[in-house]
Amino acid sequence: MKMQSNNPLLLIKLLALHSLLALSAAQDFDFFYFVQQWPGSYCDTKQGCCYPSTGKPSSDFGIHGLWPNRNDGSYPSNCDSSNPFDASKISDLTSHMQTQWPTLACPSNNGLTFWGHEWDKHGTCSESVLNQHDYFATTLSLKNEINLLQALRTAGIQPNGQKYSLSSIKTAIQQASGYTPWVECNNDLSGNSQLYQIYLCVDSSASGFIECPVFPKGSCGSSIEFPSF
C-alpha cells in the first residue's frame, strides 16, 4: 500500500502551530514598566554625569525607558537584531526627546546612543504592538499623562536635598496618578539613600496605565533624600 506523500490537514496544523509559536514569541511579555529617573540622583553619585550636548536638562524627571516585562518578574531583551535603532525613523521626535528623554551619560553626547540602547534592548521586544517610531512616541505621550514632579510638590515634597518618608512619596504619586508606584533608590557621594527612579506600569498594548502585577526587587530606606538639580 502506497503512503500518501502530502497531507493537507497535517500541513495546515503545522502552519497553524508555527504561527501560534511565532505570535507567542513576538508577544513574550505581559506589561510594561514605564521608568522615569531624577537627574539630580543620577548625577550625585560616584560615577557622576555629563550634560548632553544640547545643555543641562530641566529640573524634572526624565524618561529612562519603556520596558516589556512578565508577570513572573522576568523580562525579554534584545529581541530582534535585524531591526536596529534608526535615528531617521524618529527625526520628528528628536527635539521633544532631547527635553523629555535626555541622556546624562559620559562623555557628553546627543542622546542617540542612549535611545538606541533602549530600542535595541527593550523596544525590539515590543514589536508586536509598537514599531520603532510608535515606541518612542508612545513613551513620550505616557510622560505627559502623569506629572511626577508636580505630584510630589503638591504634597510638599521638594527636590531640596531634604529627607522625606518613602511612604509619603508613594502616596503622593498614587493620589495624583491613581496607581501604585515602585520607587528605586541609589546612594549619593556620602552614601545616603536618595530618590532615583519611579516605576509605573502600562498594559501590554501600551494604551494606558495599570496597577503593577509585580514590582522589581530591591528596596529603599524608610526615609530618603530628594536632591536638587
Q: Of residues 18, 64, 117, 133, which has the active-site annotation? A: 64
Question: Is 64 considered catalytic here?
Answer: yes
Specify the length of the chain in residues: 229
- Which among 117, 122, 133, 184 is annotated as catalytic? 122
Q: Which of 18, 96, 117, 118 is catalytic?
A: 118
Q: Quote the Cα angle for 145-121-30, to 5°.
A: 60
Helices (H), the chain: 8-26, 39-43, 94-100, 112-121, 132-145, 148-154, 166-177
CA 115 to chain centre: 11
Euclidean distance between CA atoms 177 and 166, whole angstroms: 17
Annotated catalytic residue 145: no
Question: Quick check: helix, strand or coil at residue 56?
Answer: coil
Q: Does the active-site annotation cover 18?
A: no
Residue type at position 92: D
Q: Which class for 202: exposed (0-12), middle (13-18), buried (19 or more C-beta within 10 A)? A: buried
Active site residues: 64, 118, 122
